[in-house]
Structure 1
């Protein structure tokens, strides 16, 4: 009840200072949304890779170049990308707190360009695998820093949707990859696979001009006692440069108060702090389980081994396999965007539970149809699997795609936020590496019967989401602690509803290092 009252009070305060405007009529919000769109493009390399290797398996020139990979060797080729990401994630999390979000994204961009070019010109299979490790290292940097920056610069009223859009960019890369591979399948030279490999750097490179104009996180700046720099960033992005706008006064006061309260509550911010309090242990359970479910829900089989899955149901022509893959990625992009847009209106719990129900029902059907095809060899039965793969991914896309980074980003307090994002990726990558090596072996050994494992995992996902994933709809980043920590939450001191009544800050306050705001009760 206390949390609900505090949430209502916070919402009332925010509503009182938010200008009545729509984003397309506001120059600063159009600029901000361009920055946010730019950041979504940095998730494209992960999606591109997931679709790329799947497509390359259907190209004879690549299969020959990689020395006709068996199931184990194929798992190794896929897994090395994620080994690179696994290594770089903890380093990126520390660096995001130490040096800021923007420098870490630049490191990721450089590594991606190097890895993409190296893979495209690789003279041997070994060099190609090294290029995948380098691109994986890039993923660790970008996938940690970019969602943090999106969360921390977003307009308050749009934060939930903006944050959820980050992983939608994943499927932007997947769409390009699948259709480029479909087009190059007719090339007689090695460029049939070299060109798709090189184009992995396309969307991140397109994003660079917009990223140049994207500022550093105001929350990171305040955490480094650069309050006036943060105020300038917030004013430019949220209030057309008006440093005295009530909204800016409110945001600076709330962010600074929350970060100060966190520092007073704990003198450190390490991974060990994630298990010290009941609230943090609850956050950690959500973060780890979400990362694992994002890869053990059965999507890994289809994402990286769609070719093998289609082989098991009688769809063996290269053109047909690549065409299905390309259409599936467009479908994924559409439903991931729908999930991201609905995240605030529908709520997180509704999306998680709907996702679990759709995936479970469709995966049971896929398993039954695959088993029937294995026994009868009926072509119509095998073909019937395809629409249920699409239905399954609609369920996956509406929750596990947009909320994979958005949910951990919002539930962790500022001091542990980068580590929280790192943990969800470490969990996902660990699960994915396991799947990458096990899935091709299991599919080769027992075929469709392997799907029963994922049916069980989906049941666990539904149960976990129902009992342990709370609704966070309507809470600001600084007030999210009310859900997990209750009376022990590290929050800014009580705030009044803002009404502009003169200068919102005084130069003398800056000298004290504390932001104070004159407010009038309404």
Structure 2
């Protein structure tokens, strides 16, 4: 290490310049992101195949399971509307008000959970949040599964979906927070990106169950998929108490020794003097507030305290909402209705396409997650949003040609399905990996749990547009609905470009400096030239503003 009074992990700055004759410079590099982070990466490269790393990945897997639940429900309800036995049982329809209201109860439950999400996760810990949320989802599943005993009445279905949405709001906030805060800093980005791809694990399970059960006679054809919604919350409640608590949560609750011990065991190979442990502990001591508003369940002032906080929560909510408004909502919950506009009316055909679509998206989400650290967050979100805009142009043209042909143009119908799959690829490769990562990492610790609860409010409120507007719009004006997405995705692309800073290769605490800047986007993109000595210590760093 260079002289500790001149350079500490806790006070690393972008314009630091240190010289030390006892450590001659042997290499210069141009880097982006945190200087201290890059120094730790040089001194202690991380091996994902080590036994401890594998064990930590298995622990983080439970946080990833939290992301399966929204995916399961999206494909479940959308797929069930292609099951005529389900629709006949509840006297329902694929599109229109019945589908809109029953689908929206899930979002309404999520909105109502807002006051409880932050206080629960902050007060009792990330594991308690996952556990309580998972138990509520199990209760909602039981209620929905037992609707088979109440023929013809969908009030119980609505109630069960409300409870499902309530529980998922809690567990889906706690899960990504746990993964982001507990993962090793060197692979936080890619692991959390893969976390959200578990959305498709749930989606594929639901789609596969729906397709397989279509061949069965009677109500069992739809109750089997409904009961399977209990699988992943069940795994969480069974194993959540065998995983370590978030070290950041331990630290801010005055459990410093437990936090350091957790970091040393899981990030430092058992060594409390590890560069990664020292980096994180020093940053915890400087940036984490042990008496912050996260200790007061009623106090949401941290979200709006200053310009930096307001910018953070704006980035969180804007990204979260825009990720739902790209047009993916209509293809998730109401794919059968969309396929009907293209002439695909058979229940089996719609179920086959629904399952194939989920698998197709999963592949591209996994592919995209591999690039969050290589390319960065901004290039990925901009590529996907721009691509979605172009795909909706193709979708509009194809469906309009099909409608004008009197539903006879098979080429236009096939082009519509192709556009649906292309949209899934473009959206999944860039947006899906970021949905569990970017909204969490732009928030400071004090803001994180309540900020994610606030974000859930925004997402669920925005999701009501998906649930209410689009099924009715598809029913009333058909393919003209897609013109809205063409225009709106273009607007979202511009907002992303102007507003969203890059977060790649920085610790969570180091992002404070980015958001404190006058122009966070510009500050996040400035590269630095660093000098490295023979021990891997960075002894000098200089901003290269002219190259930003």
TM score, norm. by length of structure 2? 0.85
C-alpha distance after superposition, 1:375-410 (max 9, x if no partner): 013121112111111111112112322212311211
- What does residue 98 of structure 1 align with? 123
The alpha carbon displacement at 1:498 in A equals 13
Contact kept in structure 2, 1:269 and 1:416, CA below 8 Å: no
**Residue 173 of structure 2 contacts residue 452 of structure 2 at CA under 8 Å; is this kept in 1?**
yes
1:262-301 to 2 correspondence within 5 Å?
A: 270-301=299-330
Quick one: which of 8, 30, 40 aligns to 1:14?
Answer: 40
Please tell me whether residue 255 in structure 1 is matched to residue 284 in structure 2: yes
Any idea what the Cα deviations from partners look like across 1:312-359, whole Å, max 9, x if unmatched? 111111111111110110111111122222111110110011101211
Select the residue among 225, 228, 236 that pairs with 2:254.
225
Match status 1:459 vs 2:490: yes
State the partner residue of 1:46: 70
CA separation of 1:22 and 1:455: change in aligned 2, threshold 3 A: same
Shift of the alpha carbon at 1:223? 0.5
Q: What pairs with 1:58-457 in structure 2 (closer than 5 Å)?
A: 58-69=82-93, 71-122=96-147, 123-124=149-150, 125-260=154-289, 270-376=299-405, 377=407, 378-457=409-488
State the shift of 1:21 in Å: 4.5
For structure 1, the 5+ residue unaligned runs are 490-496, 501-518
Paired residues of 1:315 and 1:383 also in contact (CA < 8 A): no
> Of Structure 1 and Structure 2, which has the larger fraction of its residues in helix?
1
Retained in 2: the 8 A contact 1:373–1:381? yes
The structure-2 alpha-carbon separation of the partners of 1:303 and 1:395, relative to structure 1 and needing over 3 Å to count, comes to same
Query: Residues of 2 paired with 1:208 and 1:239: CA distance?
Result: 28
Q: Is the 8 A contact 2:36 2:279 kept in 1?
A: no
1:462 Cα offset (Å) = 0.5
Q: 1:188 to 1:392 in 2, by over 3 A?
A: same
Structure-2 separation of matches of 1:31 and 1:190: 42
**Pair 55,82 (structure 1): closer, same or farther in 2 beyond 3 Å:** same
Q: Contact between 2:210 and 2:225, CA under 8 Å: does it hold in 1?
A: yes
State the secondary structure of the residue aligned to 2:469. helix
* Contact 2:253–2:290 under 8 Å retained in 1: no
Separation in 1 of the partners of 2:518 and 2:76? 49
Let me know the Cα RMSD of the aligned residues.
2.7
C-alpha displacement of 1:367: 0.6
Number of residue pairs matched?
A: 493
| Residue 503 of structure 2, aligned match among 459, 467, 472 | 472
| 1:8-33 Cα shifts (integer Å, max 9, x gaps) | 53234423553x34211x11111001
Name the SS of the counterpart of 2:509 in structure 1.
helix
Q: CA deviation at 1:261?
A: 9.4
| 1:358–1:391 CA contact under 8 A, matched in 2 | no
Query: Larger relative CO (CA 8 A, sep 6+): 1 or 2?
Result: 2
Does structure 2 retain, via aligned residues, the 8 Å contact 1:499–1:521? no
Tell me, what secondary structure is at the counterpart of 1:343?
coil
**Alignment partners' CA distance in 1, 2:249 and 2:135:** 23
Partner of residue 36, structure 1? 60
SS at 1:23 equivalent? coil
Q: Post-superposition shift, 1:294?
A: 1.7
Secondary structure of the corresponding residue to residue 374 of structure 1: helix
Q: What is the alpha-carbon distance in structure 2 between the residues aligned to residue 292 and residue 260 of structure 1?
A: 29
- For residues 341 and 262 of structure 1, what CA distance do their matches in structure 2 show? 37
Specify the SS of the correspondent of 1:54.
helix
CA shift, 1:207, in A, is 4.3
Q: Are 2:133 and 2:167, in contact at CA under 8 Å, matched by a contact in 1? A: yes
1:402-436 alpha-carbon deviations (Å, 9 max, x no partner): 21231121111110011222233222211111220
In structure 1, the partner of 2:515 is 484
**Cα separation, 2, equivalents of 1:451 and 1:54:** 18
